[in-house]
Amino acid sequence: MTTPPISSAPSAPASAIHDIGYRHYEGRRLGRAYVLRSLYVHNLRAVFGLGRPARAKVMPFMLAAIMMLPAAGSVAVLAITKEPETLIPYANYAIIMQPVVAIFLATQAPVVASRELRFHVVPLYFSRPVGSFDFVLAKFAAFVTALFALLATPVTLLYIGALVTRPSKEADAPQLPSIGSQTLDFLPGLAGCALFALVLAAFALVVAAFTPRRGFGVAAVIAVYLLSTATVGIVQAIAEETSNYGVAGWAGLFAPFTLVDGVQVSLLGTESPTIGGPPAGAGGPVFCLVCAAVIAGSLAVLYGRFRKGGLS
């Protein structure tokens, strides 16, 4: 009688399932709207460095303070002199302060557009019930809100200062515009701030999204701003010298600040502080269409960029 061979391999232990106390979530599902709102608030806080180290708050709040200084000075001079010309026109404030606005765009757009791409965490966002366009829309809305706050706050200060510094009796300062005329000037200025926020945010986010490293993103946004502004300024100056006013007007299409200023002039009836303006006739509609195309095209480019990042 032969004995079966004895296996040297140890026998596998029996499998067991252990209950470690986890329970299924049985609460209310908040859904897509809550995700979008959370992304919007998160990105808006990130622009101003809220919830981040102190060094992240220095630049945005310092630039916001610098934006307020000319408005406060203009109101102070108006209060002393009672001369309406000393008040900075509401619609011109963004153009006058465009270097400060450009620095804000360059330093804060990479915070919104490139951090997730740099650390390759976009697929984690898309694992939740949020799509590529929702992700882009939340970021775009947050940056537009931050930029609108940067522009509209000093303009609102100008308006409040103009009302507060008025004497109680109209006869004491008849040269000052009435409250109604101040309001009619302020509302187009506020609408202009919204236009600037939409176009400038779209332009800066696209540039920053293709430069994941923050230092390169800052340099790229500044470079695009300087090149476009300087080139358009030179072309407009030469065209003005040669009395070619049509070329000076059309050149404004190729720089973000002059593009929006042209829309303000044609759509809101404001006065432009720049050399050129939209040419009469077709100029106004063309400037408006280009402005809308820049916003829509930027959203499409951002959608493609983050969709590709979500697949990597």
Q: What is the DSSP letter of 154?
A: H
**Average pLDDT, integer, range 232-261:** 90
Dihedral sign computed on CA atoms, order 138, 39, 196, 178: positive
Dihedral sign computed on CA atoms, order 288, 292, 295, 298: negative
How far apart are the C-alpha atoms of 8 and 26, rounded to whole Å?
A: 50
Helix axes 256-263, 283-311, angle to 10 degrees: 130
- Look-up of token digits 């919204």: 194
Lowest mean pLDDT across 79-88, 111-120, 165-174, 178-187: 165-174
What is the pLDDT, as a whole number, of residue 104? 97
- Residue 182 tokens, joined: 């101040």
How far apart are the C-alpha atoms of 127 and 103, rounded to whole Å?
A: 34
- Residue 41 tokens, joined: 């608030």
Query: Cβ contacts of residue 262 below 8 Å, gap of 6+?
Result: 249, 252, 253, 272, 277, 278, 283, 284, 287
pTM assigned to the model: 0.87
**Average pLDDT, integer, range 213-234:** 91
